[in-house]
Structure 1
Amino acid sequence: MLGYENEKLEFNYKKSCGLWLIAIAVVIVIATLIGGKQIINMQVFSIGYMICFFSINMNKGLLNKLSTGSSTKFQKNISKYSVILLFVLMAFLGGPFFDTENWRMIWLGALLATALHFFPFYFVHGKSMILLGIMCTINIIMGYIFSNVPLVFFAYSDAAIKFIFGVYLLFFSKATKQ
């Protein structure tokens, strides 16, 4: 179903992943600074997300410039299904709280869904995705546990984690094989 053919995986898109993480970290910070009733301003986040998505992930010229080779069919499928997983998890983890407009729980659910969707990206970008997923998951679980701590603390922490990993992947990582 996923197209894995017992091949050695090459992680060639680390730099573009790094750029994406940096961009999303900036979007989270700006949306949180604007905040308002939603804590992380959903309109600002959504517009920023879409701009970044199309300018980075849909920009073949940029992706080719940042990559060191191509992805396998398996890696492309993992990427696709990981993004689908992200939106399914968001619906389950944050979606139920839209009726009550519990923005803290909506955003914790969205950020936890994002953290969990990093784990399958191990097969696309390598071991750093596992560590990124663990760190983001722990941060958000702390947001659930320490409900008296404002959500903005966890949002800025999440953005910082993504930014640091983004800088590492964009500027310091090299294509690897597994």
Structure 2
Amino acid sequence: MEDQELIQQLQQGNLEAFDQAYKKYAPTMLTIAYTFMRDKDDAADVVQDCFATLLNKPQLWKSIRDIRWYLMRMVQNQCLGVIRKRDLQQQKDEVFQYYNKSASEDISLPDPYNNVNPQEKENKVVSWLGSLSPQRKRAMELVYQQELSYQEAALKMGISKQSVKTHLRYAKQILKSKMTIIAIAVTSILVFG
């Protein structure tokens, strides 16, 4: 079946045409997805997601003029979206681990503080988080504990994505300054007795 006839059949909701389109274009789409994802299973997931989207949203077929080009573009965009999401999650994890480690272990603090009971350290971190404004605390919880994207957190909080980033930046600065104050206090105790 030629592409134009295939598109017409797809626009009419013909599931056999959908199967033919899948059989005809899936191998090419898998190759494209693999060049981005570098993993066969991830590439297969991307291609299946693209075809599932087309199956669940038949109105998309009405805008398709060149099915091969459209599918190639769709797979490429899906791959880039997955990669961006992974990168964002990795960045969040790194930031969270850094601040979690800094807040609970703080390697730069003097020895007496490092010898403090881990439960006391955790209590201190919890109290520091409690001292944040409600918006900043909520932003930290949504992004770092619930692992939502900035956009998802913004929607839940009813603010812009940039506002979420600003709340997080200020929250991190506050937590860092509190850790610095504790370090100075412990150092002065050591030096001046």
- Give the number of the structure whose alpha-carbon radius of gyration is greater: 2
- TM value normalised by structure 2: 0.30
TM-score after normalising by structure 1: 0.32
Which has the higher relative contact order, 1 or 2, with Cα contacts under 8 A spaced 6 or more apart?
1
Structure ranking higher in helix proportion:
2
